[in-house]
Structure 1
Amino acid sequence: MRINPRQLQQSLNKGLAPVYVVSGDEPLLVQECCDSIRAAARNSGFSERELLHAEHNFDWGQLLASAGSMSLFAEKKVIEVRLPSGKPGDKGSKALQEFASLASDDLLLLLVLPKLDRSQLNSKWVKALEQNGVLLQIWPVDAQEMPRWIHQRLRAAGLDAEPEAIQILAERVEGNLLAASQEIEKLKLLSQDNLITAATMSDAVASSARYDVFGLIDRALAGDAENAVKTLHGLRAEGIEAPVVLWALAREIRSLLEIGEKLDQGQQLARLVRIQKRQPLIQSALARLRPRQLESLLLRARAVDTAIKGGKDQDPWTGLLELTLNLCGKRSI
């Protein structure tokens, strides 16, 4: 069964499926959907959870071994597999199909991966998992949908806002759902009578961190290494968490790869990048960074993610500095 995020809670209320495949490139929505699935599992007695990172050279035998082992103190188990590439390969495909045949009320698989293309959606392993569970597809919120999405989030937070106020925030976050969510949390403290006026929104936006993540991305795309590095140091000094910076950089790199591929197919930049002021920035970045270089930057981003999680003896901010310089077109020091 295929559903979207709006249908997830209703589906969970009807009962848990043995398999959930969460596919999408919007970190905030992916995280929230996974949180909802985990919470429902805990409420249903799934007291054990095992996390597997299926990266390069991952031993897919671990998945089946995990399915066959249960803690002495747990009767139900969640196995969460994160597949950053979205491509399990032949061994992974066979393992996932075999796991699908083991589906039961005591074992739940949560597979988290990027947006799946048409060929992946038609693959045997996706079909097998979908047949035994739920495929949750998460789509980006485009510029036209952003005001409505913000309004819905405000209402969910117990707030309302003037249309002009919503438009101000939509323009400020430029499609970054995580940033929009953070701004809404701050607005809870600023609202009077739970109504956000345009003036309140303008003040809130103006009081945001002087060194913001959006500024870092714009300067890196423009190849302005000196000011990009200053911005990165400013973000760290102001207490911005490293995962937020990494998310923004990795998201932009993936976007550049996708845009570059579509430009090569003959599509127009104006149709791919709706915000006009970003078009020259994207052009500048693609002029100096080839697809192979961008793919290499994604591997660097993955290494930074490992460092953030404590799995590598490296300061994450040093890795972010190198990634920023590379995105600017400069070699690492």
Structure 2
Amino acid sequence: MPKLRAEQLGSALTKQLAPIYLVSGEEPLLIQECCDQIRAAARKHGFSERDLYHADTSFDWGQLLAAANSLSLFAEKKIIELRMPSGKPGDKGGKILQEYAESPAPDNVLLIVTEKLDSATQKSKWFKAIEDAGQHIQIWPITIAQLPRWIGLRLQSAGLRADSDAIELLVSRIEGNLLAAAQEIEKLKLLAHNNHISYELMASVVADSARYDVFGLADKALHGDARAAVKTLQGLRSEGTEPINVLWAITRDIRTLIQVSQAVAQGKHFDWAAKQAGVWEKRQPLIQAALRRLKPAHLQQLLRKANGIDKAVKGMRNAEPWDELLDLILNIAGVQSLNMHNERLSLKH
């Protein structure tokens, strides 16, 4: 069956309930809502019981086949939900998924939930077998450019009308966090007069719900957006995030930049070097942009600074980790706060 977009799922469910659904993507809210729609449709068809499994590295894939073959004492039909964050079932898991997909049990609906699947995974035998037998709902991220329209449609479906400047204000406050946007719209439903949302009402009720996460911080720094990166760093600190978690994400990207830079210097094509370094296609422009600013010597300097921050976090060096993380982020974003000589001196203390 062809891939479905999230907005096409509702219509497809009214026509036919597939034996297998695979929901993949990076937007938690949209993934959750798609899964809710599938579960609700399955319950209408008598699939009243639900078995939930988490496929981590220690998962026993035999449980999946056992669940599919076992008869319930309480219901004739059931939903088997498999959470597989990595999207990588391994050899054994892949064979079991392929075996199941080739002959799906009529009394079960299998719902598989994963993060974004790379192109290699989508060429695997287990994936093709599932796609042939069921439906793949691929969740694409909502870009900043698409966000005003998405929020407008969301407000409309909630029975609300909003001025364009009110929508723009909500977009600026939630910074891509769809779950925060959905929560704010629920609040607005209770407060709107005649179902109308003015700029003044939006400003008075919408909280600053920017999504502060370490990966978003790294992306902003790589992009060269120093102001947004600093705001995110401050948000992480205020939310109680441990500095070691921030440092881990930043150091990982510094090492990736060094690996790609070295391969390119040896004559390798950037696309090949990025793929070898495990850089997703979506992040490759960020890595490429950062490498235009950051030369090999500078990257080595950043890695030394990251190691120094690690020592400060562990109490092996007298320094304030958050202050040094700020300096590191600014340097990655292209703001030179320290020259190399002063940097080497600071890391000796």
TM-score, normalised on structure 2?
Answer: 0.65
Identity %: 48
* Bigger Cα displacement from structure 2, 147-156 vs 187-196: 187-196
Q: How do 1:182-331 residues align onto structure 2 when only pairs under 5 Å count?
A: 182-205=183-206, 208=207, 214=211, 231-232=238-239, 264=260, 265=270, 267-269=284-286
1:12 corresponding residue in structure 2: 13
1:114-172 Cα offsets, whole Å, 9 max, x none, are: 11111111111010001000011000000100000000100111101011111111111
Please report how far the alpha carbon of residue 214 of structure 1 lies from its aligned counterpart in structure 2 after TM superposition.
3.8
Could you tell me whether the CA contact under 8 Å between 1:142 and 1:175 is conserved in 2? yes
Whether 1:68 aligns to 2:69 is yes
Q: Which runs of 5+ in 1 are unaligned?
A: 234-244, 274-283, 291-323
- Residue 223 of structure 1: CA displacement? 8.2
Is 1:155 aligned with 2:172? no
Match of 1:34 in 2: 35
* Aligned-partner SS, 1:175: coil
Q: Which amino acid aligns with 1:269?
A: L
Distance 1:101 1:226 in 2: 48
1:54-65 equivalences under 5 Å are 54-65=55-66
Alignment of 1:47-58 (within 5 A): 47-58=48-59
Deviation readout 1:56-113 (Å, 9 max, x if unpaired): 1211111111111121221111110000111000000000001112314311100000
**Other-structure match for 1:237:** none
- Change in 2 beyond 3 A, CA 1:91/1:223: farther
Query: Per-residue deviation at 1:5?
Result: 0.7
Deviation at 1:173, TM superposition (A): 1.0
Contact 1:21 1:135 in 2 (8 A): yes
Secondary structure in 2 matching 1:21: strand
Would the aligned equivalents of 1:220 and 1:228 in 2 still touch at CA under 8 Å? no
Q: Which structure has the bigger radius of gyration?
A: 2
Distance 1:268 1:40, change over 3 A: closer
**Residue aligning to 2:124:** 123
Please state whether the residue corresponding to 1:23 is helix, strand or coil: strand
TM-score with structure 1 setting the length: 0.68
- Would the alpha carbon gap of residues 191 and 289 (structure 1) be closer, same or farther in structure 2, given more than 3 Å must change? farther
Q: Output the CA distance in 1 between the equivalents of 2:104 and 2:53.
A: 18
Contact 1:159 1:196 in 2 (8 A): yes
1:315 alignment counterpart = none
The 1:253–1:30 alpha-carbon spacing in structure 2 relative to 1, beyond 3 Å, is: farther
Query: Is the 2:46–2:77 contact (alpha carbons within 8 Å) kept by the matching residues of 1?
Result: yes
Equivalent residues of 2:177, 2:211 under 8 A apart: no
